[in-house]
Chain A
């Protein structure tokens, strides 16, 4: 197997691109795919301040590494979710990654700051763990971005993640979700823009990127993910992909270019006017936001949002723990 670029020995074959790469040219390929996604969807500019949501897993560490490599100003945010046998270890990977590269990592711990963890919060709020977890993470992403003047929140969702979410939304004809499924969610009411620069790279490519560039990441899965529908959708799509490579990419990217416009209206209808949460001060269509209601039911304490310095070019106030080298 020879590298498509230099004809040297290849270490990875990418069937959907009908290409093999050596380590050096594989890294270059990944960087190019991220740059292409940033440009294609107009995600952010070189002088924007980026906050990368880091879990300690392959995708978030890889996207952080690639953005730094491409010359963007990107800090990290790790959220301790209080999930037994998982959160402590995944946090360690995130900290070690940041320390080894001299990068700035914000750390927010649900138990320390809000007085609850994901398993108990989910039980108390009668939500499934991933729903309570997602709600908590989204709130904290916004809070840390707002308080520290970040323009953009970056997540490590890859092509497989997005294709699986799209598949689920199509299976249930969730028009409103389909209207919102895009690699860029615009900024709104002071909340940062949200972007997914890995939408042109799949899961295997991200794992390979980590191995080739020596990034240690959390291999164990979150115990809460076992048996969820997201994994079933991935399995189903992988079966199709095995028989016809490239199907997943066409499914997702052609949805964006050809299918999504048909659903735009469904999104507009549901865009309710937002007010201010009486408890935390964040944006919400209700008196109290869903996150503060979750915190209250879980017996935790709410945290008031303090709007930080203005965006772009400002010096961040560091209110969270910093992992410095």
Chain B
């Protein structure tokens, strides 16, 4: 599984299939602060991601103060 993250932009790879919940746990990412996107669609917390998936973890927090 190829996982793309931003801020800073980086890619992490895993060999096995796993659920979104487990993936976020492994990466120590707060589920409330991100969306998980696979093939252009939103995937829920309990979805199982196949071993060959390409996944984007998109942060949703923006910082403009005005």
Q: In this assembly, does B43 line the interface, its C-beta being within 8 Å of a C-beta of chain A?
A: yes
**Given known A10-B44, A212-B42, A241-B32, contact A204–B60 (CB-CB < 8 A):** yes
Would A137 and B35 count as touching, CB distance under 8 A? no
Would B62 and A221 count as touching, CB distance under 8 A? yes
Q: Which residues of B contact A (CB under 8 A)?
A: 6-7, 30, 32-35, 37, 41-47, 58, 60-66
Give the distance in Å from the alpha carbon of A138 to the alpha carbon of B61 in the complex. 23
Give the distance in Å from the alpha carbon of A9 to the alpha carbon of B46 in the complex. 11
Give the distance in Å from the alpha carbon of A23 to the alpha carbon of B43 in the complex. 11
With both chains docked as a complex, state the minimum distance between the C-beta of A85 and any C-beta of chain B, in angstroms.
Answer: 14
Give the distance in Å from the alpha carbon of A204 to the alpha carbon of B45 in the complex. 14
Give the distance in Å from the alpha carbon of A234 to the alpha carbon of B64 in the complex. 11
Would B61 and A234 count as touching, CB distance under 8 A? yes
Interface size on A, residues (CB 8 A): 42
Would B58 and A228 count as touching, CB distance under 8 A? no
Would A59 and B62 count as touching, CB distance under 8 A? yes
Would A242 and B45 count as touching, CB distance under 8 A? no
Chain A 53-72, CB-CB to B under 8 Å as 1, else 0, gives 00101110000000000000
Q: In this assembly, does A219 line the interface, its C-beta being within 8 Å of a C-beta of chain B?
A: yes
Would A204 and B63 count as touching, CB distance under 8 A? no
Give the distance in Å from the alpha carbon of A58 to the alpha carbon of B59 in the complex. 12
**Given known A15-B32, A208-B35, A211-B35, contact A219–B65 (CB-CB < 8 A):** no
Would B44 and A211 count as touching, CB distance under 8 A? no
**Given known A11-B41, A204-B32, A238-B32, contact A219–B58 (CB-CB < 8 A):** yes
With both chains docked as a complex, state the minimum distance between the C-beta of B54 and any C-beta of chain A, in angstroms.
Answer: 15
Q: In this assembly, does A203 line the interface, its C-beta being within 8 Å of a C-beta of chain B?
A: yes
Would B44 and A207 count as touching, CB distance under 8 A? no
Contacts of B44 in A (CB 8 A): 1, 9-13, 20
